[in-house]
């Protein structure tokens, strides 16, 4: 006679319950246990005792909505932004910053431990921000109309395409408040048509701004569903007037990005400058960069410098090394390392990014950096063979997209028996997966550091050093 297994408790939809939050999940959701059943809920943090409504129940976990906080956590604070709980940009404004850092450090450690199969991951203390507000140098504001026809400029509500009017964002550069105010005035006064997602009609889709934190240079780019912006001269004068009241800033670039596709992709491929230069400049450490509308550039320049210093530390350069920077983008890491290396080779599949990298090398009078267009897994071994081994890498730096590194790239690194690999990642889960793969190829994680690039959010940047070990 078999033993009857106890059935798994699953709460019913729309049931109201009370429970304590014990942890934070992957996307900053609070985690609570109710009769052993795991529930995830937005805007809840460890230490909260809440009344919650069951939204969805699966076999082993479910989702709930916080109805009322019966007893707040000692780590709970009032968000600065009144839209924090609705906006999709901030997930952790209600959690004190010290606990945000603790959460992110644990997130990295747990991924390395459970996904990377490293029992005790060597992770340094997280590098936090001195001020976790007003750190973003790039903003993208969707533009639309409300139910009553009112002009909406702001950010999307979490997991929706509903635009929330935003007067002031606590993560963006402060000058954006004035920029958006003036753009709003211009659009309403000149009766410029606004893009409609449903019909695909209307002109203005998004507003993008880029700010040089050290130079004070400002770029404003309107993403338009057309070839021409009406009343361009009026628009230029509207923005230029900002300089009188804000002498620390200079309108360096005004342009239009053409996107006439019915798509959720924000930027099109064509950019038309209408005032000034088609770029702004800014610095990371002692390296100056030209930043165009389509360029990838880290959004937190202060923390980026700290991240790159950690990359440099892990690379252990003495001036005699050949370094390969795979997924190099516009060469930010490449040029940062070039001052300490014999030679740096950068590879990137996006041709425009490579053109920007070459320009940035010339701008900084850096002659020991070369850049190649193509897929890393192809270009890297090809150049090595063509050079009869002279371009063999002593150190490889990889900074892939969120999905992680292509296995072909990792296999190439292993086959070439590169001594040191420095891996920069914006997703600790895919990082841990790739580390596990490299451990099977004869590499071990030597050191790692988490860097908080995105305060008030659940995102975290990580840099890891792997070294080849003898088997």
Catalytic residues: 426
Distance of alpha carbon 256 from alpha carbon 224, whole angstroms: 7
**CB within 8 A of 212, min separation 6: which ones?**
137, 218, 252, 280, 281, 282, 291
The DSSP 8-state label assigned to residue 382 in this structure reads H
Distance, in Å, from the CA atom of 176 to the CA atom of 190, rounded to the nearest integer, reads 21
- Name which of 402, 461, 458 is nearest 42 in CA terms: 458
**Three-class SS state of 37:** strand
DSSP 62-94: EEEEEEEEEE--TTB---SSTTTTTBSS-S-TT
Chain center to CA of 60: 31
Q: Could you give the C-alpha distances from 419 to 79, 170, 333, 395, 412, in angstroms and in order? A: 46, 43, 19, 6, 13
How far apart, in Å, do the first and last CA atoms of the chain sit? 51
DSSP β-bridge partners for residue 86:
none
Neighbours of 113 (CB within 10 A): 16
Q: Cα angle at 240 between 235 and 243, to 5 degrees?
A: 150
User: Structure tokens of 284?
Assistant: 């990371």
**Percent helix, strand, coil in the chain (nearest 5)?**
25, 30, 45
* 136: DSSP letter: B
Strand partners, 7: none
User: What would the two tokens of residue 21 be?
Assistant: 């939050």
Cα 255 to Cα 290: distance, rounded to the nearest angstrom: 15
Q: Are strands 270-276 and 280-284 parallel, antiparallel or unpaired?
A: unpaired
- Provide the strand spans (E) within 225-291: 250-258, 270-276, 280-284, 287-291
The candidate with the shortest Cα–Cα distance to 393, out of 433, 432, 420, 427, is 420
């Amino acid at each position: 006679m078999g033993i009857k297994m106890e059935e798994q408790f699953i709460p019913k939809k729309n049931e109201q319950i009370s429970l304590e939050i014990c942890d934070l999940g992957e996307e900053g959701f609070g985690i609570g246990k109710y009769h052993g059943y795991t529930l995830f809920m937005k805007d809840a943090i460890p230490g909260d005792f809440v009344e919650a409504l069951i939204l969805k129940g699966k076999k082993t976990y479910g989702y709930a909505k916080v109805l009322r906080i019966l007893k707040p956590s000692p780590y709970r604070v009032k968000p600065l932004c009144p839209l924090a709980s609705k906006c999709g940009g901030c997930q952790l404004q209600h959690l004190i910053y010290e606990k945000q850092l603790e959460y992110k450090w644990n997130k990295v450690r747990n991924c390395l431990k459970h996904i990377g199969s490293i029992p005790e991951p060597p992770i340094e203390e997280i590098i936090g921000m001195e001020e976790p507000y007003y750190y973003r140098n790039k903003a993208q504001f969707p533009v639309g109309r409300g139910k009553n026809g009112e002009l909406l400029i702001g950010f999307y509500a979490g997991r929706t395409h509903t635009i929330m009017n935003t007067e002031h964002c606590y993560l963006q550069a402060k000058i954006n408040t004035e920029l958006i105010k003036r753009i709003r005035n211009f659009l309403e006064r000149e009766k410029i048509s606004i893009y409609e997602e449903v019909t695909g009609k209307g002109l203005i889709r998004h507003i993008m701004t880029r700010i040089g934190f050290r130079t004070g240079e400002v770029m404003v780019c309107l993403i338009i569903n057309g070839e021409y912006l009406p009343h361009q001269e009026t628009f230029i004068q509207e923005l230029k007037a900002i300089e009188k009241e804000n002498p620390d800033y200079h309108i360096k670039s005004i342009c239009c990005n053409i996107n006439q596709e019915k798509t959720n992709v924000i930027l099109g491929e064509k950019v038309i400058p209408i005032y000034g230069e088609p770029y702004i400049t800014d610095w990371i450490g002692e390296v100056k960069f030209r930043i165009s509308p389509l360029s990838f550039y880290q959004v937190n320049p202060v923390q980026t410098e700290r991240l790159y210093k950690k990359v440099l530390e892990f690379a252990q350069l003495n001036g005699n090394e050949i370094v390969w920077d795979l997924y190099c983008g516009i060469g930010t890491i490449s040029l940062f390392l070039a001052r300490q290396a014999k030679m740096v080779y950068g590879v990137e599949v996006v041709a425009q990014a490579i053109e920007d990298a070459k320009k940035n090398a010339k701008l900084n009078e850096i002659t020991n950096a070369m850049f190649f267009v193509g897929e890393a897994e192809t270009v890297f071994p090809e150049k090595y063979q063509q050079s009869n081994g002279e371009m063999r890498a002593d150190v490889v730096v990889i900074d892939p997209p969120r999905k992680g590194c292509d296995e072909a790239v990792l296999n190439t690194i292993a086959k070439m028996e590169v001594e040191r690999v420095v891996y920069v990642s914006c997703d600790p889960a895919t990082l841990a997966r790739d580390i596990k793969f490299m451990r099977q190829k004869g590499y071990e994680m030597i050191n790692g550091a988490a860097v908080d690039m995105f305060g008030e959010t659940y995102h975290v940047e990580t840099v890891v050093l792997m070294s080849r070990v003898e088997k």
